Chain A
Amino acid sequence: MQGSLASEMLMVGHSQAHAEHPDHRVFGILMFLVAEGCLFLGLFMAYLAYSLTAPIWPPEGTPERELLLPGINTVILLSSSFVIHKAGSAIKADDVKGLRLWFALTALMGAIFLAGQLYEYSNLEFGLTTNLFASTFYVLTGFHGLHVLAGLLFILAVLWRSFKPGHYSAQHHFGVEAAEIYWHFVDGVWVVLFILLYLL
């Protein structure tokens, strides 16, 4: 019995030591995003394979796509990257109010982007199974949209937590950092997507 008590004490001792270990969560997030990036890369490569081997791409009869709305959407999403960066800078200066302001603004911009995306879907003249281009279009944008949604929820969760006093500080703000990195990633993916689907 004494043995097991001693073991518990050792565990306590060690878990305290554990807390002092450097925090690798940011590195972990980066690794996870490498995997996410490869998922998108795989889908992009499939898209390129389709578009490069087809004699006419998009296939004949694909309606022209409106560039104005997605263009505006792109500008909104890209600028939100700068906004969320401001939030990161704010918390590093221990400015929780700034953090809340910029995170709220980013969330708003993300929501506008998603709304714009849904509006575009509802006005498109082709459906998921119209042709190969349409299918890739919906799957790629939809898959990215899901990531925006996840990022948006992540940002809202951080925003919610920031109202707990002392939850985030200049030293401890992993949630903020992770949300910011993730948001930049989602932005970067969109840039490639936009070029592939709308410009090329």
Chain B
Amino acid sequence: MSALSNIILVALGILLTLASLWYGQNHHLLPESAAESAPLFDSLFNSTMTIATGIFLVVQGVLLYCIVRYRKRRNDQGDGDPNHGNVLLEIVWTAVPAVIILWLGLASLDVYQAVYGGADVGGHIHAAMAMESSHEAEAGDPSYAYTPAVLPGKDMGQPDLVVQVQGMQYAWMFTYPDSGLVASELHLPLNKRVRLDMTALDVNHAFWVPQFRLKQDVIPGRETHLEFVPTQLGQYPIICAELCGPYHGVMAGQLFVDTPEAFEQWQEEQILAAHPEGKAVALASESQPSSAFATAYQQRLGISPSELSSLRLHSGSLPSAG
């Protein structure tokens, strides 16, 4: 190999590294981050993107080089170089990906443990459910309610706030056990550790806030959890990320991160506006992205708005076990 080609190779290598590093930081592929753990995700994602960009450039570069350099020339009917293996090269391209993968695996594990702290994300069937297996509740009846029993998780300290989340076709419902408040939008105080105890009333849903980089399936008959600390004031979408029926796409809630004062105020307002029984129902219809679809759905199922609110009341009266 001549000195010149060595220099070219080294220059290409540097260029490639720089390009990968630059793209890894400047891909603009993620929304803003608004939770304590989101920057961890972002830095892992950025490193992965850096590596992926590097591999992408190497492979596509070699491919393009071969296409140009080793194209068949006119009038050449011969065969190529009959080289069919090189043990050293093969060892290298087995070992290098293995090392990269190992690093990425360990880094992922690190981030995973920092985000979830080895917390029990759920995945246990409710004890009560399994015992009540007499199969009397009819499938498809959205009014059957489960009695969630929170499972002890090895969590990272006690959360400042626990909210019970219920997913149903096609809405989210949030219960604040401390005040008994039931709301259709999720308000959270800034910089407080929050735990969501989630279950579904009918089919699988998934609770996703892209700005938090967090997602968790919400499954009927189980309780699953998410823990996080919101770190940015603002309004964020809560997206259902598990197919839950025809109107899955419009099942979106709103998440507000408020200052602690604003959060308290919101809670008080909601309680003031509560029903005489002392159960608070916040039906913030303007936060429903498309009430026309909700209406269409109600008509289809034959559920009247009053039934819907009584369902919410019923769920709100569940014993708080947080």
Q: Do chains A and B touch in the complex (CB under 8 A)?
A: yes
What's the nearest-Cβ distance from chain B to residue A49, in Å?
Answer: 10
* Interfacial residues, chain B to chain A (CB-CB below 8 A): 124-125, 127, 130-131, 133-135
Closest A-chain residue to B128, C-beta based?
A55
Residue among B124, B125, B130, B133 with the most chain A CB within 10 A? B133
- Shortest beta-carbon contacts, A-B, top 10: A54-B130, A131-B133, A59-B133, A55-B127, A53-B125, A132-B133, A55-B130, A60-B131, A129-B135, A131-B135
Closest B-chain residue to A57, C-beta based?
B130
Complex Cα distance, B134 from A61, in Å, reads 9
Q: What residues on A are CB-neighbors of B135 within 8 Å? A: 129-131
Does A56 touch B at the CB level, under 8 Å? yes
Closest B-chain residue to A133, C-beta based?
B133
Q: What residues on A are CB-neighbors of B131 within 8 Å? A: 55-56, 59-60
Other A-B pairs, 18, CB within 8 Å; known A56-B130, A129-B135, A131-B134:
A53-B124, A53-B125, A53-B130, A54-B125, A54-B130, A55-B127, A55-B130, A55-B131, A56-B131, A59-B130, A59-B131, A59-B133, A60-B131, A61-B134, A130-B135, A131-B133, A131-B135, A132-B133
Q: What residues on B are CB-neighbors of A53 within 8 Å? A: 124-125, 130
What's the nearest-Cβ distance from chain B to residue A128, in Å?
Answer: 11
Q: Which of A122-180 contact B (CB under 8 A)?
A: 129-132
Interface size on A, residues (CB 8 A): 11
Q: Which of A89-148 contact B (CB under 8 A)?
A: 129-132
Q: What residues on A are CB-neighbors of B134 within 8 Å? A: 61, 131
Q: What residues on B are CB-neighbors of A131 within 8 Å? A: 133-135
What's the nearest-Cβ distance from chain A to residue B132, in Å?
Answer: 9
Closest A-chain residue to B127, C-beta based?
A55
Closest B-chain residue to A131, C-beta based?
B133
* Interfacial residues, chain A to chain B (CB-CB below 8 A): 53-56, 59-61, 129-132
Complex Cα distance, B4 from A2, in Å, reads 68
Complex Cα distance, B127 from A54, in Å, reads 7
What's the nearest-Cβ distance from chain A to residue B133, in Å?
Answer: 5
Q: What residues on B are CB-neighbors of A59 within 8 Å? A: 130-131, 133
What's the nearest-Cβ distance from chain A to residue B123, in Å?
Answer: 9
What's the nearest-Cβ distance from chain A to residue B126, in Å?
Answer: 9
Q: What residues on B are CB-neighbors of A60 within 8 Å? A: 131
Complex Cα distance, B136 from A130, in Å, reads 9
Complex Cα distance, B133 from A55, in Å, reads 12
Q: What residues on B are CB-neighbors of A54 within 8 Å? A: 125, 130
Complex Cα distance, B125 from A59, in Å, reads 13
Complex Cα distance, B132 from A56, in Å, reads 11
Complex Cα distance, B70 from A44, in Å, reads 55
Closest B-chain residue to A61, C-beta based?
B134
Complex Cα distance, B136 from A131, in Å, reads 10
A and B contact pairs by CB, cutoff 8 A, 5 listed: A53-B125, A59-B130, A61-B134, A131-B135, A132-B133
Complex Cα distance, B134 from A130, in Å, reads 7
Complex Cα distance, B125 from A47, in Å, reads 15
Residue among B125, B130, B134, B135 with the most chain A CB within 10 A? B130
What's the nearest-Cβ distance from chain B to residue A119, in Å?
Answer: 26
Complex Cα distance, B135 from A132, in Å, reads 9
Q: What residues on A are CB-neighbors of B130 within 8 Å? A: 53-56, 59
Complex Cα distance, B131 from A130, in Å, reads 13
Complex Cα distance, B135 from A60, in Å, reads 13
What's the nearest-Cβ distance from chain A to residue B199, in Å?
Answer: 16
Complex Cα distance, B134 from A134, in Å, reads 11
What's the nearest-Cβ distance from chain A to residue B137, in Å?
Answer: 13
Q: What residues on B are CB-neighbors of A55 within 8 Å? A: 127, 130-131
Closest B-chain residue to A62, C-beta based?
B133
Closest A-chain residue to B130, C-beta based?
A54
What's the nearest-Cβ distance from chain B to residue A63, in Å?
Answer: 14
Complex Cα distance, B130 from A129, in Å, reads 15
Closest A-chain residue to B135, C-beta based?
A129
Complex Cα distance, B221 from A132, in Å, reads 14
What's the nearest-Cβ distance from chain B to residue A25, in Å?
Answer: 38
Q: What residues on B are CB-neighbors of A129 within 8 Å? A: 135
Q: What residues on B are CB-neighbors of A61 within 8 Å? A: 134
Q: What residues on A are CB-neighbors of B133 within 8 Å? A: 59, 131-132
Q: What residues on B are CB-neighbors of A56 within 8 Å? A: 130-131
Q: What residues on A are CB-neighbors of B125 within 8 Å? A: 53-54
Closest B-chain residue to A135, C-beta based?
B135
Complex Cα distance, B130 from A59, in Å, reads 7
What's the nearest-Cβ distance from chain A to residue B157, in Å?
Answer: 28
Complex Cα distance, B124 from A11, in Å, reads 63
Q: What residues on B are CB-neighbors of A132 within 8 Å? A: 133
What's the nearest-Cβ distance from chain B to residue A59, in Å?
Answer: 5
What's the nearest-Cβ distance from chain B to residue A89, in Å?
Answer: 49
What's the nearest-Cβ distance from chain A to residue B136, in Å?
Answer: 11
Complex Cα distance, B127 from A61, in Å, reads 15
